[in-house]
Amino acid sequence: MSKRIAAALFGLALLYPLIGLFAPVGPWHWDGAAILDAVRVSLSLTALAMVIVVAAGTPMALYIAHAPAGERLLWQGVLLISVLLPPLALGILISLAFGPHALGPLLAHTGMRLTNTPLAFVVTQVYVSMGYYVLGAVAALDGVPRALETQARLLGHDSWAVFRRVTFPLARLGFAVALSLAWVRALTEFGAVVVTAYYPAGMPVAIWTGLENFGLPAVMPLLVVFLAVALPLPWLAQVLAQRRPSGA
């Protein structure tokens, strides 16, 4: 029982900052259209970024998890660099790398622009969240005994079938955590996005502009909406991952 009380205290301490929502900041400033627009931008573009992260990151995680120790360390170093960069610095680097002095002219030639466009928003989110997803996925894959994968191959299944029927079901909880972290990281990203894609404004940038223009009364409703739209997907991923598969 004492453990449960300690856990409850931990939870209360973790959520304590939310008490700020009840602070006397004056009447909340609801701008329904602006909030809806920010929610639409954040959810749709983050979802698109997650599709790219999962599609490119999962094969890479599989590759790293099965790579020899030396090569594995190299890749993990590469991923850590992308994770460790301060968001603002990453945003500046992305702007420069895809700007007029680097890839910018080439991209412009194909009609793509990586400043203040939905494409810039998605690319930035992919950069900020990819490392989290791949590192998490590699850790999840490390928990699957290689002997079981070998056994599945010996029973006549190719690599894709082994992943689908053995590796993923055994690592699904870790994949759910990795995806949740990537989702949260991308959705909440401000520092990098504010440099590369001030427009279209997602939730974090909308909170910033709300604070700038109207002060705290504009921030509070945005925070509530933000929590309401950000939480369900990673939570659902956890719920689905913890369900026992049929036949087990």
Question: What is the C-alpha to C-alpha distance for residues 201 and 209, in angstroms, rounded to an integer?
Answer: 9
Task: Please answer whether residues 122 and 48 qualify as being in contact, where contact means their C-beta atoms are separated by less than 8 angstroms.
Answer: yes
Instruction: Select 77 or 247, whichever has its Cβ closest to other proteins.
Output: 247
Residues near other proteins (CB under 8 A): 145, 147-148, 150-158, 165-166, 169-170, 244-245, 247-248
CB of 67 to other proteins, least distance (A): 17
Which class for 238: exposed (0-12), middle (13-18), buried (19 or more C-beta within 10 A)?
middle
The secondary structure of residue 164, as a DSSP letter, is I
CA gap 201, 199 in Å, rounded: 5
Nearer to other proteins, 118 or 169 (CB): 169
Give whichever of 5 and 154 is closer to other proteins, judged by the CB atom: 154
Least distance (Å) from other proteins to the CB of residue 247? 5
Contact of 129 with 186, CB cutoff 8 Å: yes
Closer to other proteins by Cβ: residue 80 or 155: 155
Shortest Å distance, C-beta 246 to other proteins: 9
CB of 148 vs other proteins, minimal distance in Å: 6
DSSP at 74: H
Name, in order, each residue with C-beta under 8 angstroms of 87's C-beta and a sequence gap of 6 or more: 128, 189, 190, 191, 192
Cβ within 8 Å of residue 191, ≥6 positions away: 86, 87, 88, 90, 91
Question: CA–CA separation, 48 vs 32, rounded Å?
Answer: 24
How many beta carbons lie within 10 A of that of residue 86, not counting itself? 10
Cβ proximity to other proteins, 72 vs 172, nearer residue: 172
Closest approach of other proteins to the CB of residue 168, in Å: 10
Using the minimum distance from each CB to other proteins, give the nearer residue, 95 or 167.
167
Contacts of 96 (CB under 8 A, 6+ apart): 102
CB of 60 to other proteins, least distance (A): 22
